[in-house]
Structure 1
């Protein structure tokens, strides 16, 4: 989001222009696509190999798919998409694993949803996480995953980060957790 003049992908739509549930792409499970997924772009601008839509859904260029295939990473599903006004190939990077691995003690600050917050389906999940730290022992040898209770975080291993940087992929920003 900090790249000047970058493109902005909006909420995903189906082939009929109906809004799709964007949160399905953060649940850490395989999705059976129904029809063509489209992303409107507004404003248009600099395209990237890795970008997040308006709901933090990772949308990647085929270069990312090729890299993951070369590295043998099978912890993701790539769902083909059309990006309005842009020739692809583009894909949603759907991560298939979620781990309860946030290390509350080592994080700068964490807050949980409580019943009085009025979001009963979220009670017990993270409401706010600042300065996230994870417990690596809880993720095994997984190279890409989401964190339970704070699904906006997309965590990758150091070797995958280095491979993405070496490939010169655009649009990424890494923060050690």
Structure 2
């Protein structure tokens, strides 16, 4: 099966709304929403605003200043149809800056963390943080297909910033006209 790194489609973003999330209203570290940590007590009072001027449109993958995977109900429904059991859909209410509109959206908390990165076939660089710690920055991913086990939406262990999807999920998203997404095929070994 083919797999893709899911990206926001910046080439077609000219008229899309952009969410501004007030970090001071978070009751947790913002990076917890990307590390696959399950939330038991979700704070739905997070302050989220956007500019709705100049005929702005909402994309199904909604760009935001924290780089979270925030989606509309339409994209949520497609992901749910894939029957991934380690996904949380955390409600977010976004208000336009002029307070004339409210959007009900979802932060997709991907708890499917897979140890499938194949460094031998990936293109990456190593950065020394200090004498005891190094960071790997991957430019081109290669993943071990045998480790994924038919999961349609996942993050990689120790590389939680990137989101990966199966060809099956990509096709469902394209068939349903999902907006705001771009896909980069990754090598599967």
TM interval, shorter chain, is 0.7 to 0.9
Go from structure 1 to structure 2 and tell me whether the alpha carbon gap of 1:164 and 1:173 turns closer, same or farther (over 3 Å shift): same
TM-score by length of 2: 0.77
1:174 corresponds to 2:183: yes
Structure ranking higher in strand proportion: 2
The 2-side partners of 1:174 and 1:146 are apart by 15
Alignment gaps of 5+ in structure 2? 1-9
The 1-side partners of 2:109 and 2:90 are apart by 7
Residue 76 of structure 1 corresponds to 87
* TM-superposed deviation, 1:12: 4.9
Mapping of 1:1-177 within 5 angstroms?
1-3=10-12, 4-13=14-23, 17=25, 21-32=29-40, 33-41=42-50, 45-85=56-96, 86-107=101-122, 109-116=123-130, 123-126=133-136, 128-177=137-186
The 1-side partners of 2:102 and 2:121 are apart by 43
What is the number of equivalent residue pairs in this alignment?
169
Structure number with higher relative contact order (C-alpha < 8 Å, ≥ 6 residues apart): 2
Go from structure 1 to structure 2 and tell me whether the alpha carbon gap of 1:77 and 1:12 turns closer, same or farther (over 3 Å shift): farther
Contact 1:60 1:90 in 2 (8 A): yes
TM-score by length of 1: 0.82
* TM-superposed deviation, 1:169: 1.0
* TM-superposed deviation, 1:34: 2.8
The 2-side partners of 1:162 and 1:81 are apart by 26
* TM-superposed deviation, 1:112: 3.4
Alignment gaps of 5+ in structure 1? none
